[in-house]
Amino acid sequence: MLLALIATALVAVALLSEELGPRISRAWRRHRARRRHVAPLPYDPGRERRAEQRARMLLRSCVNDEEWAMYRDLGFIRVWGTQPDGPESDRSAGGAAYAYLIYPHRPIVAYLAQTHRLLAEYCVTFPDESRPYGEAQLPDSDDVLAKWMALTGDERRLIESANMHLPGRELDPARVRRDLWRLSQWERARLRDAEHSQAS
C-alpha cells in the first residue's frame, strides 16, 4: 500500500515538474531581474542647466518679442483666448475677452482680461514616458513652449485634455492677481519706452 502511494506520488511529481518547471524557472529569473542593481546614470549637475538653456533658446525662437520679454521679465506668458464664449468649461465669460497665464510646471490660469476675474485653473502636464535621463518632466521653458503651442494651435483640444479646477486650488489667487498687476505695470513701462524711443 505504502509503495503504491509513493509510486503514485513520484509519477505525479514527474508529471507536474514538466508543467511547473518552466514556470518556476521564469518566476525565478524575474525575481532575480527585479533584485538586480541597475546602475543609475551618473549625476551631471550641469545637465539640467544646459537643458534649460537649450529650451529657452527654442522658446525664444518660437514666440514673439513681447512674449519672450514677458517670460524673461515676469516668469510667465499671456496667451489670448480665442473661443467665442470663453474657455470650454466656463461659459460665464459670455463673449468677454479672456486670456491665459502660462507658468512653467504650474496650472494654466484663465481670466477675464477686463476685470481680471479668475475663471479656472487648467492642470496639464506633458509627461515623457520614455523617461530619458530617468525623468519624465520637460525643462521649464519647454513646458511653457508646449503649453503655448498647444494653446495657440488648438486651444479646445488642450483645455479638454486638462483637469479643470476652480481658481485657487494650486495657485494662490492673490499671487495670480499680483502677477496680473505686474503684467499691467510691465506693459505700461514698455509702452512708455516705445513712446520715448519714437520721440527721440
Q: Which residue lies nearer to other proteins by CB, 86 or 139?
A: 139
Q: Does residue 178 interact with other proteins by CB under 8 A?
A: no
CA 21 to chain centre: 46
Grid coordinates representing 137 are 518632466
Residue 136 touching other proteins (CB under 8 A):
yes
Q: Which helix (H) or strand (E) holds 77?
A: strand 77-80
Regarding 61 and contact with other proteins (CB under 8 A), the answer is: yes
The residue type at 73: D
Q: Give me the least distance between CB of 181 and other proteins, in Å please.
A: 25
Pick from 63, 93, 120, 180: which binds other proteins (CB under 8 A)?
63
* 61 membership: H or E segment, kind and range: helix 47-62
CB of residue 177 vs other proteins: minimum separation in angstroms?
22
Under the criterion CB under 8 A, does residue 30 sit at the interface with other proteins? no
Task: Quote the least distance from Cβ 149 to other proteins, whole Å.
Answer: 4
Q: Does 146 engage in binding with other proteins (CB under 8 A)? A: yes
162 binds other proteins (CB under 8 A): yes
Nearer to other proteins, 91 or 157 (CB): 157
Q: Residue 167 CB, nearest distance to other proteins (Å)?
A: 15
- The three cell numbers locating residue 84: 467665442
Length of the chain: 200
User: Are 110 and 92 a contacting pair, CB within 8 Å?
Assistant: no
CA pseudo-torsion sign 30, 31, 36, 40: positive
Exposed, middle or buried: residue 42 (CB in 10 Å: 0-12, 13-18, 19+)? exposed
d(CA 31, CA 43): 28
Compute the least distance from the CB of residue 71 to other proteins, in Å: 13
The contact set with other proteins (CB under 8 A) reads: 47-48, 50-55, 58, 61-64, 67, 107, 123-139, 142, 145-146, 148-150, 152-154, 157-158, 161-163, 170
